[in-house]
Amino acid sequence: MRKFLFIALVLLIGANIFLFKRLDSVKKERDRLDSNQAALLSDVEHYKTESGKNATSVLRLELTKNELEKKNKGLTKTVDDLNIKLKRIQAATTTATKTEIEIKTEVRDSIVYRNQLDTLSNFRWRDSWIDLMGTIDKGVLSAKIESADTLHHIIHKIPKKFLFFRFGVKAIKMEVVNSNPHNKITYTEYIELKK
């Protein structure tokens, strides 16, 4: 009888430990989903820094591999194009930028025409990423340039290799891909603070 009680007590303690661990994982999942809901319902905050630079703030969205594949097929395709396995991704960000410039300057020619009617010259050039439009009126160029770009930042783990085996983490690497072929990424930096 004592042996039966001891086995029942061990099973009861084991069941309690299992249930407490399961409860902890369910609480973590609930907190993750609450955080994701807050991120999805919040707006992107645009503001200016103290030095006058444009800045944007957004809450973090924490997704599982399956959720990422369903939510963001474009980002998943970018990861595939970089030959990175989705399971090695640590974080991914996407930033879209748009540049608008209005230009007004004097146009000077080396040839002068006299006794002709003044004409207003309009021009426009556009492709998928840049839109340039303007006029030339009495030697003054007025133009507007709009440029759009989307940046994808992929942070992933590089595994250590020995023969054909991959194990552990050799390094964390960030890949940045832009969609506008006219733009060139001149600098990027990834800093992760140690907890």
The tens-digit pLDDT sequence of the chain (195 residues) is 788 888 989 999 999 999 999 999 999 888 888 877 887 787 877 777 787 777 777 777 888 888 888 888 888 888 888 888 888 888 888 887 888 777 777 766 545 555 555 556 788 888 888 888 888 877 778 888 888 888 888 888 878 888 888 777 777 787 888 888 877 777 676 766 554
* Residue 147 maps to a domain: yes
Same domain, 104 and 55: no
Domain of 138 in residue numbering reads as 87-195
> What total of structural domains would you count in the chain?
2
111 & 180 share domain:
yes
Query: CA-to-CA distance for 58 and 191, rounded, in angstroms?
Result: 18
Q: Is residue 79 part of a domain?
A: no
Structural domain includes residue 68: no
Q: pTM for the complete prediction?
A: 0.61
What's the per-residue H, E or C state across 90-142?
A: EEEEEEEEEEEEEEEEECCCCCCCCCCCCCCEEEEEECCCEEEEEEEECCEEE
- Asked if the structure places residue 119 within a domain, the reply is yes
The C-alpha atoms of residue 35 and residue 59 are separated, in whole angstroms, by: 9
